[in-house]
Amino acid sequence: MPENARLSSSIGQIDLDFVEREATPRLLMKLGIQLHLAGLSLSNTVRILEIFGVERVRSTVHNWVHKADLQPNSGRNPDQVAVDETVIRLNDEQYWLYAAVDPESNKSLHTQLEPTITKVIASSFIAELREKHDVDDAVFLVDGDKALNYACQRHDLDFRYERHGNRNSVERVFREVKRRTSSFSNCFSNAYAETADEWLRSFAFAWNQLI
């Protein structure tokens, strides 16, 4: 699919029902949200909006992104699911990002940000994934993480150890998340965990539209 077609499609899926009184035209609000999630910093997104005669501060675009409450579409039926967790820095604290990806399409299925790694949290992540997608017959690809292995067993799911191969799809998502948070350090500075979790789900939405 051409790049401009993917952008048009994703912009069309951005719901602005949260808007009550906003002087910015809705199309430009959607454009600002999409540009930031696609890779532009808040500062550069504001500069693009200025080209269209709209002057907004970075915090305004930041608020648009979070209020839009974007996340990956539900209802997928993948043959395989790559699952993993990675460390995310939030201010001076360490959190863990759980993620599930469809290796065939490289689309993100579900993300969840947690303050620690436990079998209970991993099981909760898998439970939410099952609620969103038809994954009961899928093969889960794990890298030996004991909590995620336990969660798959707890939910009676088929899983196998795979360090590379199709499981690399989830690593690609992690690399892009870390590139973004490294390049735009203001993303998770002075932010609550809930705000960071919302941004990560919004990022997953944009990732699915652009890959």
Residue 5 has pLDDT above 90, yes or no: no
* Gyration radius from the chain CA atoms: 18
- CA-based nearest residue to 71, from 37, 43, 24: 37
Average pLDDT over the chain, rounded to whole? 84
pLDDT > 70 fraction of the chain, expressed in percent and rounded:
86
Cα(85)–Cα(145) distance, integer angstroms:
9
* pLDDT value at residue 189: 63
Directed axis angle between helix 193-210 and helix 168-183, to 10°? 120
* pLDDT value at residue 12: 62
* pLDDT value at residue 82: 92
Average pLDDT on 80-107 reads 89
In contact, 123 and 150? CB cutoff 8 Å = yes
* pLDDT value at residue 187: 55
| pLDDT single digits (tens) 43-90 | 999 999 999 999 999 988 888 888 888 888 899 999 999 998 888 888
What pTM was computed for the model? 0.79
Residues near 183 by beta carbon (within 8 Å), at least 6 away in sequence:
41
* pLDDT value at residue 21: 67
Q: Among 20-34, 139-153, 177-191, name the one with the lowest average pLDDT.
A: 177-191
- CA-based nearest residue to 171, from 198, 141, 194: 141
| pLDDT single digits (tens) 176-207 | 877 776 655 445 666 678 888 888 888 888 88
Cα(204)–Cα(68) distance, integer angstroms:
13
* pLDDT value at residue 129: 97
Q: Which residue segments constitute the domains of the chain, with CATH numbers given?
A: 3-67 (no CATH), 80-190 (3.30.420.10)
In contact, 81 and 129? CB cutoff 8 Å = yes
* Residue type (1 letter), 90: L
